[in-house]
A = this chain, B = another copy of it.
Amino acid sequence: MNFKESYDKKKKLIEDHITEYLPSIKIDSHILYDAMQYSLKAGGKRLRPVLLLSSCEFCGGNESEALPYACAVEMIHTYSLIHDDLPAMDNDDFRRGKPSNHKMFGEAIAILAGDGLLNSSMEVLCSDILKTCNNPEITERKLWASHEILKSSGCRGMIAGQVADIISERNCQSKELLEYIHMNKTAALLTASVRAGAILGGTDDKTLADLTEFAKNMGLVFQITDDILDVCGQVQLTGKATGSDAKHNKLTYPSLYGLDKSKAIIKDLSEKSIAILDKYKSKSMFLKDLIMFLTDRSF
């Protein structure tokens, strides 16, 4: 199986099962289920859950045991997109070519659908841990994995990054702040996905440290690539950089370093990530290919 087939197989596993993890909802509130399902099924790369499953396998674990955690991570990512798109935040009418959640269901339901997905993700984690709570060793690994996910999605991770991103539009723009935003807003949940998968797979400390270093670099590669694509896409469309980030005067790698330097940073980080994985030989093939896949999205 080549990289693409392997990636798509994992992606399909997530897409086939993710809505099964949503709680059943009475008819009086069924629009809540519809709104959550709408965004969960709206596509995307499913990068975070694929990373979690791959990292679990890399460490010798079983894909099916990691599936609830992979779906929980995707629920968290999806809720953050719904709230990000709201008029008070990025005010985006479209997400992945479809009307954003609040355009389909109204702002109130979109806020509650986001809340519902975050809450559901934790119910998924808690339910899964309850199933094996007579085994302290498994319980500890599952709790540890859950804690990694919750820490990275919260006020010491993703939400902190979003807040700093909003503030950066108004205040001074520094390299340190840019790195803080990217590390928290995007890289934290990506890194936690890799770490949680590894922990569930029974990793040792040294491998976990290597995978964490790999994931942090990869998280930055992912975000800088996204920033560049945003600028380039807008340049192609309009002849000048007027993308949403440029419009909002957001702090990005291209805005601070320029395009060429940003591409050089990506190259450097990718090489570093791959070097970390080299010692794991053929076992690390999928994760190495993933880095190439992320950097090779268009340029």
Chain A positions within 8 Å of B, measured between CB atoms, are 22-26, 28-29, 31-33, 36, 79, 83, 86-89, 106-109, 111-112, 114-116, 118-120, 122-123, 126-127, 129-130, 133-136, 139-140, 143-144, 146-147, 150-151, 153-156, 159-164, 166-167, 177, 180-181, 184
| B147 and A123 form a contact (CB under 8 A) | yes
* Residues of chain B with a CB closer than 8 A to A177's CB: 28
* Given known contacts A83-B115, A122-B150, A133-B136, A164 and B28 CB-to-CB distance under 8 angstroms: yes
Taking a contact as CB atoms closer than 8 A, the residue among B111, B150, B155, B162 that contacts A25 in the complex is B155
| A153 and B28 form a contact (CB under 8 A) | no
* Given known contacts A136-B133, A155-B116, A160-B32, A108 and B89 CB-to-CB distance under 8 angstroms: yes
* Residues of chain B with a CB closer than 8 A to A88's CB: 86-87, 106-108, 111
Chain B nearest CB: distance from A124 CB in Å?
10
* Given known contacts A123-B147, A139-B139, A116 and B25 CB-to-CB distance under 8 angstroms: no
* Given known contacts A139-B136, A147-B123, A180-B28, A155 and B107 CB-to-CB distance under 8 angstroms: no
* Residues of chain B with a CB closer than 8 A to A115's CB: 79, 83, 114-115, 118, 159
Taking a contact as CB atoms closer than 8 A, the residue among B22, B33, B140 that contacts A130 in the complex is B140
* Residues of chain B with a CB closer than 8 A to A184's CB: 29
Bound: A147/B24 CA distance, A: 16
Bound: A122/B115 CA distance, A: 13
16 residue pairs from A and B, CB less than 8 Å apart: A23-B151, A23-B154, A23-B156, A28-B164, A83-B115, A88-B108, A88-B111, A108-B166, A112-B162, A116-B154, A118-B119, A123-B154, A129-B143, A130-B143, A136-B139, A139-B139
* Given known contacts A32-B160, A115-B118, A123 and B151 CB-to-CB distance under 8 angstroms: yes
* Residues of chain B with a CB closer than 8 A to A181's CB: 28
Chain B nearest CB: distance from A169 CB in Å?
10
Interface centre among A89, A134, A156 (most CB of B within 10 A): A156
| B136 and A150 form a contact (CB under 8 A) | no
Bound: A112/B82 CA distance, A: 12
